[in-house]
């Protein structure tokens, strides 16, 4: 089945030696969707997702991944939204949306070792945030 422009259907992977996240589609193409080591997309590791966004050509003058772990073709995709296809009871997140820069405060104790904490924006919206480094001042860019 050919991939429609702007939509991927595949399984999220974070291959050994690569800190980012990829989507491996059934047609054999691997799409790099994030280079961040603390990518929120790691929450969807080994799960089938749909991803909306835009395919792009990586600038050849900058460092980028040029081959998939299995030696297959690799492309790049700027995902604006990623959603689990079959959520189960053991997942905390079912969708990751576009980045937003937010101001607000974290709830819960900073030293409790919690993996997720609530973040309340100045306008009163609350989000669960994962991968919070303890004791650091943060600019939150939510997805």
At 118-132, the pLDDT tens digits run 888 889 988 777 666
Do 67 and 50 have their domain in common?
yes
Looking at the fold, whether 85 and 110 belong to one and the same domain comes out as no
Regarding whether 82 and 31 lie in a shared domain, the answer is yes
Question: Is-above-0.95 flag for pTM?
Answer: no
- Number of domains making up the chain: 2
Tokens of 85: 């296809």
Residue 61 in domain: yes
Domain boundary residue, one of 51, 72, 91: 91
Q: What tens digit of pLDDT does each residue of 14-72 get? A: 777 777 889 999 888 999 998 888 788 888 999 999 999 999 887 777 777 766 777 77
CA angle 17, 19, 20 (to 5 degrees): 125
Number of H helices, E strands in the chain: 0, 11
Together in a domain, 12 and 42 = yes
Instruction: Locate the DSSP E strands across 1-143.
Output: 7-13, 21-25, 30-34, 48-56, 74-84, 95-96, 100-102, 104-106, 116-121, 126-130, 140-142
Shared domain for 67 and 104, answered yes or no, is no
Tokens of residue 127, six digits = 């989000």
Name the residue range of residue 112's domain.
100-142
């Amino acid at each position: 089945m050919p991939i429609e422009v702007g939509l991927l259907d595949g399984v999220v992977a974070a291959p050994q030696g690569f800190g980012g996240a990829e989507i491996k589609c059934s047609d054999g193409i691997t799409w790099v969707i994030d280079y961040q080591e603390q990518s929120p997309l790691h929450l969807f590791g080994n799960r089938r997702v749909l991803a909306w966004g835009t395919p792009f050509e990586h600038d050849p003058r900058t460092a980028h991944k040029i081959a998939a772990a299995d030696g297959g073709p690799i492309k790049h995709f700027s995902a604006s939204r990623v959603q689990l296809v079959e959520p189960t009871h053991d997942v905390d997140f079912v969708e990751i949306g576009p980045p937003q820069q937010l101001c607000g405060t974290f709830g819960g104790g900073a030293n409790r070792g919690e993996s997720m904490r609530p973040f309340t924006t100045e306008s009163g919206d609350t989000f669960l945030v994962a991968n919070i480094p303890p004791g650091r001042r943060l600019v939150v860019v939510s997805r």
